[in-house]
Amino acid sequence: MPGEFEPHERCWMIWPQRRDTFRYGAKLAQKAFVEFAKTISRFEPVTVCVNGDQYDTAFMAVGEYAQVIELSNDDFWMRDTGATFVTNGSEIRGISWGFNAWGGLTDGLYFPWDKDEKVADKMCGLINADCYKPEDFILEGGSIHVDGEGTLVVTESCLLSEGRNPQLSREEIEEVLKEYLNVTKIIWLKQGIYLDETNGHVDNIFNFVRPGECVLAWTDDESDPQYAISKECYDILSSETDAMGRKLIIHKLHIPNPIYLTEEEREGMDQVCEFWPPEAGTRLPASYVNYYTANHAVIFPKFDDEYDAAAEQLLKKIYPEREVIGISCHEMFLGGGNIHCATQQQPISGEDH
């Protein structure tokens, strides 16, 4: 699996539509999404997948910037339901992991998820790529980050969660990941961002800038529960070497001030059961690390927070060769993820590389 910072053929996304996670029938999330898709399309071709009932709406909104195709789905998060692409240097193939809405009937986030389960297979079909299907193995794309040179970073809280692969030991999970992603070194962080409903996806707390160099979500506020989590990640990353034997250069990317779900935002979401949407006042898992590395660009989430400027400054410093663009992400973020979770890169296959 190439690193995300390597050249892309295109970026895949899904039109936001869920009424129980986005507010006001997802209208505000759709507006934010258009800005987002338009920005990515300046750097690489974009494909937007959409359910049939919203095809015309999506086409009118983003058809000018993206290829819009009908592809049934249950939710917006292409990073997690889409194919993970791998290449052997001359050919590209997809991996269609099992998907159970972040924990199935144990602690998953919705039911049913049958359309999401098929998104990756359909993507591979559309680009005529062969598709691997690991048997009885649940994984989301947001729970893995690779450096393209043999190193994979994951979190224990997610990959060892009860709702995913409880029948497998940590060693057995490692075997599957090594085989399908062709990695030789797996670095296990303990947890992701505080209260992240994905059981702590790695892509909200950590990212590779390039081989040997990474960013880590951070806070200087020792009273914030995030502090102990980030500090533990920092200690693990500083004591590890990657697959090539390098010590990692770690950049601390300060999180925004805590953001809480407001009563007004909650009221805008459809109530679908006793425990959804969550209560007003619930802290949301905000992190600038949830950015997308596009061809020649980095597109990062802005939270209208005092730390937005510091995030932009750091990203510009560590990505001098890329344009760094901030996008107001709040409406998409209300859905539980962010910019990185909403995308899936298709790497350029070997021959074009």
Query: Cβ-closest residue to ligand KQY?
Result: 336
Does 201 help bind ligand KQY (rule: CB under 6 A)? yes
Does 291 help bind ligand KQY (rule: CB under 6 A)? no
Q: Which is nearer to ligand KQY, 7 or 281 (CB)?
A: 281
Eight-class DSSP state of 188: E
Q: Which is nearer to ligand KQY, 21 or 191 (CB)?
A: 21
Q: What is the 3-state secondary structure (H, E, C) of 284-335?
A: ECCCCCCCEEECCEEEEEECCCCCHHHHHHHHHHHCCCCEEEEEECHHHHCC
Contact partners, residue 44, CB within 8 Å, separation at least 6:
8, 9, 10, 11, 294, 295
State the number of binding residues for ligand KQY (CB under 6 A). Answer: 13
Q: How many CA atoms lie within 13 A of 51 on its CB side?
A: 11
Shortest distance, position 110 Cβ to ligand KQY, whole Å: 7
Contact partners, residue 189, CB within 8 Å, separation at least 6:
153, 154, 155, 156, 202, 205, 206, 232, 233, 236, 237
Site stretch for ligand KQY (CB under 6 A), options 147-155, 165-173, 193-201, 269-277: 193-201
Q: Which is nearer to ligand KQY, 240 or 328 (CB)?
A: 328
Short-list 149, 155, 151, 192, CA closest to 170? 155
Is 124 one of the annotated active-site residues of the chain?
A: no
**Which strands, in side-by-side order, build the sheet including 92-95?**
84-87, 92-95, 131-132
Give the integer Cα–Cα distance in Å for 280 and 195. 14
Q: Which is nearer to ligand KQY, 109 or 315 (CB)?
A: 109
Does 161 help bind ligand KQY (rule: CB under 6 A)? no
Shortest distance, position 119 Cβ to ligand KQY, whole Å: 13
Site string for ligand KQY, 328-347 (x = CB under 6 A): -------xxx---x------
Q: 25-32, long-range: CB within 8 Å, 24+ apart, which pairs? A: 28/331, 29/76, 29/331, 29/332, 29/334, 29/335, 30/57, 30/61, 31/331, 32/327, 32/328, 32/329, 32/330, 32/331, 32/332
Site stretch for ligand KQY (CB under 6 A), options 24-32, 87-95, 196-204, 297-305: 196-204
Q: Which is nearer to ligand KQY, 2 or 301 (CB)?
A: 301
Please report, as residue ranges, which positions from 98 to 137 form the binding site for ligand KQY (by CB under 6 A).
109
Does 77 help bind ligand KQY (rule: CB under 6 A)? yes
Site string for ligand KQY, 10-49 (x = CB under 6 A): -----------x----------------------------
Catalytic residue among 11, 124, 233, 341: 341
Shortest distance, position 196 Cβ to ligand KQY, whole Å: 7
Site stretch for ligand KQY (CB under 6 A), options 22-30, 36-44, 74-82, 171-179: 74-82
What's the token pair of residue 67? 């290829």
Short-list 63, 50, 45, 65, CA closest to 17? 50
Q: Which is nearer to ligand KQY, 238 or 262 (CB)?
A: 262
Q: Cα–Cα–Cα angle for 269, 270, 274, nearest 5°?
A: 110
Q: Which is nearer to ligand KQY, 116 or 149 (CB)?
A: 116
Contact residues for ligand KQY, defined by CB under 6 A: 21, 77, 79-80, 109, 142, 197-198, 201, 335-337, 341
Active centre residues (catalytic):
341
